[in-house]
Structure 1
Amino acid sequence: MNFKSLVLVAIPALALTVNASAQVLSASKGESKFFSETPLENISAANSKVKAALNPATNQLAVKMTMADFEFPNKLMQEHFNENYIESEKYPNASFEGVINEKIDWKKPGTYPVTAKGIFDIHGVKQPRTLTGKLTIEPGKITLVSDFTVALEAHKIEVPKLVMMKIAEQIKVQNKVEFANKG
């Protein structure tokens, strides 16, 4: 999916609020990883096809990923994840649309702690969330890193009793997106 499609389909609110002088930045790189730790088994996966858009003029942020793009070390785990847990045919995407709360000088290099308040959508369940992260502004690049957890029950992701001891109730998620900074 190209960035224009992403803006038109996934983040219309962001596209509508852009003023003529503002520049919406699209992620040049995006990755999401998750980790489930239990005494019986650890499960990890990564998705290197994460899309994101950032409007420095309004602090609006949108991140979207296709769930089937997560790659696992074990193909059977990947199959179970897509078919039995996340139901990626029924719920193909996960997204976050929100606003960075802090006032940022987008022209000043540095690393800044940030929070973004918005709507997190996974498995068809939309929830208000405030996510924390770190924003690094460098010449030519803006990097946003965030770590948070996803509670399976809160998003109606059901785990069969047979494998319940192998999958954590809280999944650790790490995201990193890089934007080309022309400012």
Structure 2
Amino acid sequence: MNKLFLLFLFSVLFFTQLSAQNQFIARQGQVSFFSYASVENIEAKNNQALSILDTEKKEIAVSMLMRAFVFKKNLMHEHFNESYIESDIFPKATFEGKIIDFDPLASDVQTKLIKGTIKIRGISREVSIKTSINKTPKGFYLEGNFSLVVKDFNIKIPPILSNNIAKIVSVKIKFQYIPYAEIYR
């Protein structure tokens, strides 16, 4: 009985370690957005996005707090969180996707499409993100961009401000991944 238990325990530890070798983490990823408007452009950056990359499954997941976006003007930050995103009710945004035709062993820069689901304000939408993935000595560097339609996430813009906020927002992402196992050494 003890030998069977030890064999089981060894197997669990071995496969856990094996799967950890295929997982990478970016703890301070950058997500930024830009909204062109005739009155004033709106731009914000979030340097606290958390992302996990699983190279075996070719999957990526991202989570970020909406209040972590930094704007040039405090009033923009306030309106973004209170009037549009409603960060008290919907504190975070998430993304889960699959990297199409990704080869984690390739040493050259790969231009790949990530298809997945983004969730903002409790509303999920399918998106495709064009990315550039570069293998680094310790992990991977990923950057990409995509667009979001504001009304798809039930963000209400008062008619008087409709010229001040773009209907489509450009989003850029940048993640520097290191092996997940390195965090706990």
CA contact (8 A) 2:27 2:49 kept: no
96, 101, 109: which is aligned to 1:111? 109
Report the equivalent of 1:96.
Answer: 95
CA 1:28–1:69: 2 relative to 1, 3 Å: closer
Rounded to whole Å, the distance in 2 between the matches of 1:34 and 1:76 is 17
Gaps of 5+ in 2: 1-14
Q: What is the CA RMSD across the aligned residues, in angstroms?
A: 1.7
Partner of 1:151: 149
Number of matched pairs: 164
Deviation at 1:22, TM superposition (A): 1.9
Hey, what does 2:163 align to over in structure 1? Answer: 165
Q: Distance in 2 between matches of 1:144 and 1:103?
A: 12
Structure (1 or 2) with the larger CA radius of gyration: 2
- What SS class does the counterpart of residue 50 from structure 1 fall into? strand
Structure 1 portions without partners, runs of 5+: 1-18
Query: Relative to total residues, which structure has the larger helix share, 1 or 2?
Result: 2
Q: What residue is the counterpart of 1:120 in the other structure? A: 118
1:22 aligns with 2:6: no
Are 2:177 and 1:179 equivalent residues in the alignment?
yes
Distance 2:99 2:34 in 1: 25
Post-superposition CA distance 1:4-46 (Å, at most 9, x none): xxxxxxxxxxxxxxx6322221114300111110111101010
SS in structure 1 at match of 2:19: coil
**Whole-Å separation in 2 of the counterparts to 1:64 and 1:158:** 23
From 135, 152, 166, the equivalent of 1:137 is 135
Q: How many Å apart are 1:103 and its aligned residue? A: 3.4
Contact 2:27–2:48 (CA under 8 A) maintained in structure 1: no
Residues 113 and 130, structure 2, Cα contact 8 Å, conserved in 1: yes
Secondary structure of 1:39's aligned partner: coil
**Distance in 1 between residues matched to 2:57 and 2:64, nearest whole Å:** 22
Deviation readout 1:49-70 (Å, 9 max, x if unpaired)? 0000011111110011110000
TM-score normalised by the chain length of structure 1: 0.84
Q: Secondary structure at the match of 2:67?
A: helix
Partner residue of 2:3? none
Q: What corresponds to 2:4 in structure 1?
A: none
Secondary structure at 1:110's aligned position in 2? coil
Most deviating of 30-39 and 108-117: 108-117
Percent of pairs with identical residues: 29
Task: Give the residue type in structure 1 aligned to 2:161.
Answer: V
Instruction: Supply the AA of the counterpart residue of 2:100.
Output: N
